[in-house]
Amino acid sequence: MEKTLAVLPVYLVNAITAGAIDNFKIILLSIVLEALPFVLLSVFVSAVLHNFVSDTTIQKIIPRNKWLSIIPATLLGLLFPVCDCGMVAIVRRLVTKGVPLHTAIAFMLASPIINPVVALSTAFAFRTNPSMVILRLSVAFLVACLISFFISIVFTRSQLRRGNSNFKGCGCHQDSHDLPSERTLIAKLGYTIRDAGGEFFDMGKYLIVGAMLGAGAQVLLPRTLLTSVGLDPVVSIGAMLAFAFFISVCSSADSFIAASFVTSFSPGSLVAFMVFGPMMDLKNTLMLLQSFRFRFVVWLLLTTTCLCAIAAYLINLL
C-alpha cells in the first residue's frame, strides 16, 4: 500500500496522455448522458409538486409520529424506483413544502437502494451469493433510519440554505404558498415547466462538475491502489467508501462493479460500497451543498460514512 502511494504522483503525471483525455471525455459524457434523464424527470416532479400539490396537503399526509413517518419514507422507493442522481431536487422541494427534514432525508438515503430495480440487479450481479442482496437492503434500511432519527434530535430547523438562488422565487411572480390553487390549469402547466427549467440549471451544473471529478478519478487513479488493500478487514472498508464516493455510478450498476471485486475484497467493504455510493457521492454532495447548509451537509456526510463503516466492520466480523 505504501509503495503504491509513493509512486502515485509519478503515476499521475504519466497518466495524462492523449489516450487518457479521450477516455476522460467518454466517461464524463456517459455519466452526464446517463444521469440527464433522471435529473430532468426529478426537476419536473419537483415542479409538479410545487405547482399542483399544496403544502397543507403534503403536511396532512405525513404522520405526526416520528417513526411512522421515517419508516414509510425509507420504503417509498419500492413504489417509485428512483435514481440517486435526481433525489436532491425532490428532497429540497419536499423540505420547502414543510416535510420534516428527517422524513425527507430518510427518503433520499433509502429509496435509491431499497427499490425493485436495484434489488433485482444486485441479485443478478451476486447470483453466487444471494445474501449480499439482503445485506445491502437491510444495511441501507438501518443506516437511513438511524440517520433520520439522529437528524430529528440534532436539527430542529429545515437546514435549507437561505437565498436558494431562483428556487424560492424572487418575489416578482408571487410564488407564495396559496397562489397556485388560484391559477388556471394552463397557467399551472406553464409555471411547472418554467420552474423545472430553473431547477435544471440550478442542479445541472453540480451534476456536471461532479461527473468531471468522477471521470478524472476513474482515468487517473489506478485500481491497483484499491486491490492492494482488498482483503484487509479495516482498510478495505475505507478504500471502498472512498471509491464509491468518487466514481459516481448508478445504483443499479454499482452491484456489478462490486461483484467484480468479490474475490479480492472483504464482503463488508463491498456492502459498504453498495450502500454508501447511492446515498452519498460526489455529485450528490455538490447538489446538497447547493440546497442545504454547509454544516448540515458535512454532518450528513460524516454520519453516513461512519454508520456504513461500522456496518461493514460488523459484517466482516461475522
Biggest alpha carbon distance in the chain?
A: 67
82 makes contact with other proteins (CB under 8 A) = no
Q: Minimum distance from CB of 287 to other proteins (Å)?
A: 12
Is residue 160 classed as helix, strand or coil in its secondary structure? strand
Measured from the CB atom, the residue of 18 and 153 that comes closer to other proteins is 18
The span from the CA of 103 to the CA of 116, in Å, is: 21
Is residue 167 classed as helix, strand or coil in its secondary structure? coil
Q: What angle, 0 to 180 degrees and rounded to 10, lies between the N-to-C axes of helices 282-291 and 294-317? A: 150
Helix ranges (DSSP H) in 53-100 = 55-61, 66-75, 84-96
Question: Residues binding other proteins: what is the number (CB under 8 A)?
Answer: 73
Report 33-62 residues binding other proteins (CB under 8 A). 33-34, 36-38, 40-41, 44
221 makes contact with other proteins (CB under 8 A) = yes
Measured from the CB atom, the residue of 205 and 302 that comes closer to other proteins is 205
Q: Minimum distance from CB of 257 to other proteins (Å)?
A: 6
Report 226-255 residues binding other proteins (CB under 8 A). 226-227, 247-250, 252-254
Is residue 169 classed as helix, strand or coil in its secondary structure? coil
The span from the CA of 122 to the CA of 251, in Å, is: 9
Integer distance in angstroms from the first to the last C-alpha of the chain? 26
173 makes contact with other proteins (CB under 8 A) = yes
286 makes contact with other proteins (CB under 8 A) = no
The span from the CA of 108 to the CA of 127, in Å, is: 27
Report 194-213 residues binding other proteins (CB under 8 A). 194, 196-198, 200-202, 204-205, 208-209, 212
Report 104-123 residues binding other proteins (CB under 8 A). 121
Measured from the CB atom, the residue of 33 and 61 that comes closer to other proteins is 33
Choice from 222, 242, 310, 313 touching other proteins (CB under 8 A): 222
The four Cα atoms 105, 272, 245, 288 give a dihedral, to 10 degrees, of 0
Q: Which residue has the cell 402547466?
A: 189
Q: Minimum distance from CB of 170 to other proteins (Å)?
A: 5
16 makes contact with other proteins (CB under 8 A) = no
The span from the CA of 87 to the CA of 250, in Å, is: 12
Choice from 52, 149, 256, 313 touching other proteins (CB under 8 A): 256
Q: Minimum distance from CB of 154 to other proteins (Å)?
A: 30
Q: Minimum distance from CB of 153 to other proteins (Å)?
A: 34
Report 59-78 residues binding other proteins (CB under 8 A). none
Find residue 292's DSSP bridge partners: 160
